[in-house]
Homo-oligomer: A and B are copies of this chain.
């Protein structure tokens, strides 16, 4: 079994950080786990940035095939960690084995999907406008366009997906695919998992004979390193998944730079679920039976957790609420990721319980020290609209049922929402006209619309959008899951009148990369 060292990984160097300590905690007991992880110093940060900057010109110009093989090698090296990784991740996050194994598969699948995109060449967005020497009054020059990487990318691991959105997760995979070196600031919720995965990536860099600066991992004992990373002029983009406060702090730092850079922060979403009357009439129980497991998935710590339900008052809605309440009362709570997250959840539950306009529909049993008690609350649409504090995310297995007097009021209440990652609609064919009327509004409020389901499953494919209007993300023009995520780290460059010998391979007339090209 691989020993945990507590080291930083700066290129191919491994060293103990000397700027304070970060400890892993046993997610079930809250106990500290040895060894400590040494926090990076400013010098360590500078070293990682210098290596990344010097790796960029080389790494961005290796063939797409070589980058694809690198991503696949990372996936293989992660697989090779075997149960060591699964067990360490379970210990640090409290997530069950099947979930950790599934997430590991997802992480590897993500890397392989991006390898496929690299081989297809789609991400290059190659365009050629051939010269028109005969054009009047002036001849047209030959113009060719491709996309190139932005430069070194800072990635902040997320607490809630210790593999799929952490050291070698979606942000890292898409940045590496784009030709950008990556410096990861490890999340303190799973430092050992981070170290193991970082070792797999570092080994892949070596295996593939790439410049060492392509990847570094830093631990941060006091936020100064994370902030310094975003402020560093050599860093050209930032990927982040976490809280609204955390994300906006990074956005602010990035905007205040001499050269501002994009921050892709996936922050806050309550993921409204709209239950249309005929869906409730025909399958209230079925929806309830799907809803509670979705709410409790990952202890409610999914970004796409269904935190809001909108429906028009009716006997069918009462049936739904009663069925849901009964299931909740039988649902064991799951372990939360960290004692800190648990503490915040308990406080949020108390706020909701004590809110004068909110009623408690049902709460599940309590069990275990840091678990997420499944809870459903209710409020009238009128009160919901009047109380913006009820529109905030409860990070955990709590949801709020917003009871509307009419579909018109439902539409009005939904229009009060801020941007979301997802919005789900449950309906039957009889509801089509009403759904049709609501969908255009939902399109402006969310990045993904789900029919008769919940947003908790996020497929890693080409047509996935895991993004949405502010504050779901800091940049609604993108997605952090799926192949479109690569485009976050690219910019277009146009080449005018260059001879074949000087054109980049992607744009040569002979098309040596065999990629799709659109012609003007």
Contact = CB atoms under 8 A, between A and B. Distances in A.
A411 to B, nearest CB: 12
Interface string A471-493: 10011111100011000001111
Interface in A469-520: 469-471, 474-479, 483-484, 490-499, 501-502, 518-520
Nearest to A481: B494
A127 interface: yes
Nearest to A520: B462
B463 A145 contact: yes
Contacts of A138: 457
Contacts of A140: 459, 461
B462 A494 contact: no
A128 interface: yes
Interface size class of A (residues with CB under 8 A): 35 or more
A440 B61 contact: yes
Most chain-B CB neighbours within 10 Å: which of A251, A476, A493? A493
A439 B494 contact: no
Contact of A470 (B260, B455, B464, B499): B260
28 contacts: A57-B441, A61-B440, A122-B518, A127-B463, A128-B463, A129-B461, A141-B457, A143-B464, A145-B462, A148-B443, A251-B255, A259-B471, A260-B474, A446-B493, A447-B491, A447-B492, A448-B493, A448-B496, A449-B493, A449-B496, A451-B495, A462-B518, A463-B520, A464-B494, A465-B493, A477-B490, A478-B491, A484-B492
B259 A453 contact: no
Contacts of A470: 259-260
Contacts of A45: none
A461 to B, nearest CB: 4
Given A140-B459, A465-B492, 19 more contacts: A143-B459, A143-B463, A143-B464, A145-B462, A148-B443, A262-B475, A432-B501, A436-B502, A443-B493, A446-B493, A447-B493, A450-B497, A452-B497, A462-B518, A467-B491, A467-B492, A476-B491, A477-B490, A479-B492
Contact of A255 (B255, B476, B484): B255
Contacts of A452: 497
A214 interface: no
Which of A459, A476, A492 is most buried by chain B, counting CB atoms within 10 A of its CB? A492
B61 A462 contact: no
Contact of A465 (B145, B259, B518): B145
The 7 closest A-B pairs by CB, nearest first: A462-B520, A465-B494, A145-B463, A143-B463, A127-B463, A448-B494, A129-B461
Nearest to A57: B440
A396 interface: no
A435 interface: yes
A13 interface: no
Interface string A142-153: 011100101100
B491 A451 contact: no
A18 interface: no
A491 B518 CA distance: 21
A414 B150 CA distance: 18
Interface string A399-434: 000000000000000000011000000000000100
Contacts of A143: 459, 461, 463-464
B145 A464 contact: yes
Contacts of A474: 260
Nearest to A151: B444
Nearest to A149: B444
A418 B518 CA distance: 31
Contacts of A150: 476-477
A495 B450 CA distance: 6
Contacts of A471: 259
A163 B123 CA distance: 34
A497 B444 contact: no
A520 B484 CA distance: 12
A51 B418 CA distance: 21
Contacts of A440: 57, 61
A9 to B, nearest CB: 26
B492 A451 contact: no
